[in-house]
Structure 1
Amino acid sequence: MYLIEWGLWQMATESKAERRAYEAGMTPAEKRANRNFYEGDLDENIHFSQVSDNPRARGPVYNLNEVFMDLRCGGAEEKRGLITLATLGGVLPGVAFGIFMTAGSIWLDITQPESSSFLAALLTIALAFASGSALYFYLKYGIKFTRLEVLTTRHLLIRFNRKTQQVHLHRPDSCGGIVTFPWRTTGSTGIYPEDDSLSAGMRLGLVWHPSLTGLPHMEMALVGKQGQGGSELRDEWEFIRRYMEEGPHAVPRPRLSTQLPSPIQAFSAQFEGLGRFFRKSSWLSKVALLMVWPAFVIVGTGHWLSLMLCWRPRWPKVIREAGMPGKPVPPVTTLSDYPPAIQERLLANADRWQLKPGKSPAKKPRKPRTSRKPKEID
């Protein structure tokens, strides 16, 4: 499911009316938090120093060689299948049934005019209007959600090219499309040990800020599987960092995954963030998880159907050949690579990512509350 990536792209390309409505629903604290970004904080949060002694790729890794490495992206991969089930089990059968009934009623009125009446004609018109309206609203509003899981690329990919020192993101156009960034503009959420407690259920986040890329919007990629706490995200970032800085000989050889629609990948995705929780949870929690196994089977089946109804992502030729002798280096993505209408919207929302000069001020410690003496009662 590409819902997170689609939502981030929608935010970057919001119209004035959509943004006004969004900001009207924000609290004053949320508005202040969105504006408290400083240049000094960005400099501290983007570095390429060692962060772990145990570099490890938790996968899925699709390719790894001397030139490039391909990993899976996606912020809600474990929830994939829900939209597929709703589409194949509810929306499409309902629309198809309405069209079939309308066509049958029209055919009956044509072939047997003697049995038709005003009431039958009225019923045919009502059926045609209802089925036509359902099809129209689905094609106009619903299919864009269906294509977050079905009839699109099978996975979101990120490619790290050592030879060109570039990072490439492979996404559908509705989620931002294919983009290219210099490796040294990449920020990571897997840097600080104090954030280890926040990594449970989270993926490694890679960020490209506009102040470094020259674009008017921020880009983000959520890499690999969900973390289960500890230092897993730092281990994964250290694996990527060492591969790009030192080469494949500096990291342990990971097990490569297939890009075919494997049922193992579909069902195992439901348990990415549950391993450590299941081992450390009480027996009552384990029994509760075992009782809901039919839900995991249903969602896993939908996930597998989603993979089979999608196609394998394919990089453009210039990215496939990047790093080979005599081949050109792919150009870095710029604003001019987007259509004029998208450029206009991106520029209209560019102020979201502006940084304040200097560093964020240190938070003042709160004064301890002094206990009040009770009033004396005469």
Structure 2
Amino acid sequence: MEKEKEKIKEEGRAVPIRVGISIGDINGIGPEVVIKALADNRLLLDCTPIIYASSKTISFHKKAMNEPEFNYQTCKTANEAVNRKVNIINVWNEEVQFELGKGTEASGKYAFLSLEKATEDLASGKIDVLVTAPISKEAIGKAGFQFPGHTEYLAHLAGMDEALMMMVSGSLRVALVTTHVPLKEVSGTLTREKILAKIKALDSSLKKDFGIQRPKIAVFGLNPHASENGKMGTEEAETITPAINMARNEDIFAFGPFPADGFFGSPNRSQYDAVLAMYHDQGLAAFKALAFEDGVNYTAGLPIVRTSPDHGTAFDIAGKNEANAQSMRSAIYLAIDIFNTRKFLKEIAANPLQIQESAHHRKRGDRQHEIE
């Protein structure tokens, strides 16, 4: 009877986006920020969350946080998820030994199981988007995860050499040429072709994921002060500038290379839709200083939509009920927005507006017909 009532309620309403959520490391703050984000029922107006974990795991963290208002239901598969309710798929059923604040082989195993099941359902269309809670790379590595992070793992599953890591907070968007690469290896990794590919991927994402028709991209240099015309390195002249010029020859509005140190504090930042940094900390240190609480990590350049909070497992505060859930909440909303933008652009491309004859021209045509 209840299901019938729900069905009647749903008739005539837009189908909510099915948001799959991998739980991340169960000894970190992942479960806490997921629970806090989904405890706000307003979010359920736009989506149907499906958490890949176990009801026992969620119940443990719910009790530790003293969140009596957080309600959920279990389902065997994503196809059975109830719209606009929080759903949990039991990826495992055994009792779990929690060691809050520690990344262990066991916590890595459960993080990997959650991610595997969520990505399977994403690939088969059972969920629309994926939001990943933070993992411990060390812990999940002990469980057989052979990738530097989510970005590389998802690119591998998509059959691509690389994806584009992009950090997003409102109109602030920072993408990276290299991601999880030791600093001493960055220079040798940069090539004209690699930088050009990242510029093109960023340009494409800004258009199809954010609906920006003619995006402007600021490209950073590698060296201090973008080398000051070769005084502090040759990468700008030999690699980065040629890649920018190649992009411009393909009608992409790429500019630079800009010195990274003063860019984010400059009013020039507002002139660009996104920034492309050469390496991890060059872009992310400034981004997280500006938008740590609501920043989102978006994996661009893939056929699927995946977002994540921009923070890590925060083992130091795990279990203390101190974690801020805004980044997780923002990650869910951004995934929904990108999914809807892609859907909208696909629909208008498939059904272009027909040129309508004006009333003035119709009258002229009628009169001409009468004359003839």
Bin of the TM-score, shorter chain as denominator length: under 0.3
Tell me the TM-score normalised to structure 2 length: 0.23
- From the CA coordinates, give the structure whose radius of gyration is larger: 1
Higher relative contact order (CA 8 A, sep 6+): 1
Instruction: Name the structure with the higher strand share.
Output: 2
Tell me the TM-score normalised to structure 1 length: 0.23
